[in-house]
């Protein structure tokens, strides 16, 4: 925050001892400390107020964006009227789930294909010229 070098602090302490005196120096330091605390409190309160204002402005902006996006979605997908409850007696009008008293519906059982037999893959045998070109592990070892 403030750039105070140790030499400057020592100079201020010497001047304070000379002009205030060692007898009144503790009282003066208490007075300065009290005012510094008050100044820090005011700065903290100001910063908190600014943060609150910024947060409220961001929330207001997000609410405007949300309202605009909601408006766009409602224009793109207008609400559909619900069918009359007596139109489909076997299903519920809201989520089309069959009622408990509805007749069961038979569906064909799906066909499951059996797993094919695994294919055995063998490595191709090297030709005579390839076998001579690649030395075996036992040839290079003493």
Residues 49-94: tens digit of each pLDDT: 999 999 999 999 999 999 999 999 999 988 888 766 665 545 544 5
Q: What is the mean pLDDT of the chain?
A: 78
Q: Which residue has the higher pLDDT, 94 or 112?
A: 112
- What residue segments make up the domains of the chain, in order of their start? 24-76
Averaged pLDDT for residues 103-125: 72
Quote helix, strand, coil % in the chain, to nearest 5.
55, 0, 45
Please give the pLDDT value at position 47.
96
């Amino acid at each position: 925050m403030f750039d105070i070098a140790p030499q400057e602090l020592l100079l201020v302490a010497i001047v304070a001892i000379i002009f205030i005196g060692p007898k009144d120096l503790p009282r003066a330091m208490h007075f300065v400390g009290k005012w510094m605390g008050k100044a820090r409190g005011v700065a903290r309160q100001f910063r908190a107020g600014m943060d609150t204002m910024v947060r409220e402005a961001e929330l207001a902006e997000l609410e405007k964006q949300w309202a605009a996006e909601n408006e766009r979605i409602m224009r793109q997908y207008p609400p559909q009227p619900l069918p009359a409850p007596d139109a489909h007696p076997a299903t519920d009008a809201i989520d089309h789930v069959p009622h408990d008293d509805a007749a069961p519906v038979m569906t064909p059982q799906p066909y499951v294909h059996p797993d094919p037999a695994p294919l055995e893959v063998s490595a191709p045998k090297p030709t005579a010229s390839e076998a001579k070109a690649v030395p075996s592990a036992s040839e290079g070892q003493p």
